Amino acid sequence: MKDQIKVEAKTVEEAVALGAEKLGVSKDSVSFEVITEAKKGFLGIGSSNAEVKVTYVYAPLEAARKFAQTLISDLELDAEVTIHDDGNGEALLTISGKDSSALIGHHGDTLDAFQYLINLAANKKETDDRKYTRISVDIENYREKREETLRQLARRTAAKAKKTGKSVSLEPMSSYERRIIHSEVQTIEGVSTNSVGAEGMRRVVIYPEGAEVPTEESVKAPREKKRGEKRNDRRRSRDRRRSGSKPAEQREERAPRAPKRSDLPYHEPKKPVKAKDLDSYFEKLKEFSSTFDQ
């Protein structure tokens, strides 16, 4: 991630210093490319300034902070960014404030997407000596709370699998959340786990030890059976209507007819309210990160 600016001055040195000042960094921390050398001319006639492109490459944590602050500012959220560096190639970026929860999303989906984009922006390979820094993002201690919720879910589901003797499938989860489930179930005797499904819809299945290891096909089979039963119920209902026989519950007095659409009073449709659409904004963030590559 980098910032670039073109500046003009009487000399290359002055242009570089001016560019660094405009970028808000020291002169020693920038690199530059001379676009046009300065010309003195004759007696001041025909002289021209030097034009220089000045570039500043952000360190990973600087890039992460700038990216997060830009997103928060663009979304007009009341939140602050803090970074803790452990010095071992890992860092924790925390966001706190009145509006910070808007970046969590359903089961942390938005938070995970935000973390992914921050790592892309922070670890873009700009120089050969640039080291990768893994940045975790947390908001109002959500990660710890979510982990405890998942561990409780794993214990409840394991107990259900042991009691019924049948495998139990959980909802699709990220690889990080699946690891938490696997880890917790490993501490419980009599049950085991397996992950099934394609990436993006991958889920954990908890099953009794000694039973056949669940696969994607075996997990789908009961659902297909239920759908087949529903189709059969609809078919029988259709056959009854055609034959004129009706179930007892349908022989009772009919409810009053619902008003037709034309009978209903007309209401002026509400104008859409401008909202902070995080999903579409994350698409725009790709454009934001690309501006630092030019």
Residue pLDDT, tens place only, 191-244: 999 999 887 789 999 999 988 888 888 776 555 555 556 666 677 777 767 666
CATH says 60-140 is which class?
alpha beta
pLDDT of residue 40: 76
pLDDT of residue 269: 46
Q: Is the pLDDT of residue 51 over 80?
A: yes
For 10-28, write each residue's pLDDT tens digit.
888 888 888 888 888 888 7
For 122-176, write each residue's pLDDT tens digit.
887 666 566 788 899 999 899 999 999 999 999 999 999 999 999 999 999 888 8
pLDDT of residue 229: 63
Predicted structure pTM score: 0.58
CATH of domain 145-217: 3.30.1370.50
Can you give the residue ranges of every domain in the chain? Answer: 2-57, 60-140, 145-217
Using an 8 Å Cβ cutoff, are 278 and 109 in contact?
no
pLDDT of residue 291: 47
pLDDT-derived band at 278, boundaries 50, 70, 90: low
